[in-house]
Amino acid sequence: MKISPNKVVTMHYTVSTAEGAQIDSSRDGDPMSFIHGQRYLIQGLEDALLGKSAGDAFSVNVAAKDAYGERQDELVQVVSKTLFEDMEVEPGMQFRATTDDGEQSVMIVEVTDDEVIVDGNHPLSGVDLNFDVEIIEVREATAEELAHGHVHSGDGCGHHH
């Protein structure tokens, strides 16, 4: 069976930067399972999986624009430290911020006496990624999985809808 939208795909992967620095891998644990076409993966990897079958192994380079997007300088902002009230904030902390465009994750980049620099870009925005993928299984999604939007194990999905 070939990978196409609404098929359940089980795969192992390793993702690295274009420079070869490993970011993540499933190879020391359980493979990842997801429903293709449900926007669970970055677009570039999802596109590369189309038409592949169980047993296929391949590598694919995904440009930043098809991964987590290009960096957007306007998403880096300087805000008053008073917005954080009496919290001790430090670089690397992440928060949910309310913006004109809705909720957005931001990361603290720098803290001064009066100001905090926050970055709303995904940490991997602007980064080209390399994936090494091994397809373990491809199967039809059940009606329940499609209704819930995620893969269920033999014991169900572990929560109530």
Q: pLDDT of 89-130, one tens digit each? A: 899 999 887 777 778 888 999 999 899 999 999 999 999 999
Based on DSSP, count helices (H) and strands (E) in the chain, helices before strands.
2, 9
Both tokens of 102, joined, read: 């809705």
Residues 134 and 18: their CA atoms lie apart, in Å, by 19
Q: What is the pLDDT of residue 161?
A: 46
Q: What is the pLDDT of residue 49?
A: 97
What's the mean per-residue pLDDT of the chain? 90
Residues in CB range of 151: below 8 A, 6 or more apart? 8, 33, 34, 35, 141, 145
Confidence of residue 156 (pLDDT cuts 50, 70, 90): very low
Look at residue 157 and tell me whether its pLDDT is greater than 60.
no
Confidence of residue 154 (pLDDT cuts 50, 70, 90): low
Q: What helix, strand, coil percent values describe the chain, rounded to 5?
A: 15, 40, 45
Residue scoring higher pLDDT (65 or 161) = 65
Amino acid at 55: G
**Structural domains of the chain in order of their starting residue, each with its CATH number:** 7-68+125-148 (3.10.50.40), 73-119 (2.40.10.330)
Say what the pTM is: 0.81
- Alpha carbon distance, N-terminus to C-terminus of the chain: 30
Residues 153 and 33: their CA atoms lie apart, in Å, by 10
